[in-house]
Amino acid sequence: MKAFGIAALAVAAGVAGCTFKSTTVKEADAPPAVVYQQPAPVVVYQAPAPTVVAAPQTITYSVSSQAQYNQAAVLAGNWCRARVGAGARVYDTKQGTSRGLATFACVAG
C-alpha cells in the first residue's frame, strides 16, 4: 500500500508539472476618436473711425457795450465773407470786469 501511495504521489506531481499555459495575442482596442472642438467665436468690437471736423475760423472782438457788440457782429460778418465766403455767427461771449469778449465763427448759410 505504501508503494501505491508513492506511485499516486508521483503521478500527481507529474500531472502538476505538466500544466499547459497559453498566451492569446489580440489586437489592441482602437484609441477613441479624436474630437476637435471649435473654439467659441470671438466678438471684437471695433469703434468706428472718428470723424474729424475742422474747427470753424473765428474772430474775437473786445466790446464794452451793446453798440460795440453790434459793430463787432458787422465787422465779423465782413471779415468772414472776405476770408471764407460765408457769414458769421456768435460762437462765444465772455464778460470781464469792464469789457467783454465776443467771438464769432464763420459759417455757411
Q: What residues does each domain of the chain span? A: 58-107
3-state secondary structure of 103: strand
Examine the pLDDT at 1 and tell me if it is beyond 60.
Answer: no
- Distance, in Å, from the CA atom of 58 to the CA atom of 88, rounded to the nearest integer, reads 9
Mean pLDDT of the chain: 83
DSSP state of 95: E
**Residue 59 neighbours by CB under 8 Å, 6+ apart:** 76, 79, 80, 88, 103, 104, 106
**Quick one: average pLDDT of 10-23?**
64
pLDDT band at residue 15 under the 50/70/90 scheme: low
Q: What's CA 69's distance to the chain center, in Å?
A: 51
pLDDT for 46-59, tens place per residue? 888 888 888 889 99
Residue type, 84: V
Examine the pLDDT at 23 and tell me if it is beyond 90.
Answer: no
